[in-house]
Amino acid sequence: MNTLAHLYLSGNDPELMLGNFIGDSVRGDEFSHLDERVQKGVILHRKIDRFTDNHLVFRQICALIREDFGRYCSVVADVFLDHF
């Protein structure tokens, strides 16, 4: 579902969608060789993730499950929110 949300937030721009889709696979600035619109999609992906990860509700969920899931609490919370 996370992928669907990222694609939806890309609008109707195929290059932006591509960059947003591959955003989790790209590390650092390894995308500088890509088309400018694809680069913007990677940047958009990172902004969406940063917004979500810093949202108060997301942080509260992580605090509730941190004891059980440790450093993976944000991944578990993300999957949970995607599902429900």
Domains of the chain by residue range: 2-83
Residue 56: pLDDT band with limits 50, 70, 90: very high
Q: How far apart are CA 61 and CA 8, in angstroms?
A: 24
> How far apart, in whole angstroms, are the C-alpha atoms of residue 18 and residue 40?
10
Report the pLDDT averaged over residues 40-68.
96
Give the span between the Cα atoms of 71 and 51, in whole angstroms.
19
Residue 26: which of 4, 5, 49, 10 has the closest Cα? Answer: 49
Q: Read off the pLDDT of residues 74-83 as tens digits, 9 standing for 90 and up.
A: 999 988 888 8
CB 18 within 8 A of CB 45: no
For the residues 51-56, what does the mean pLDDT come to? 94
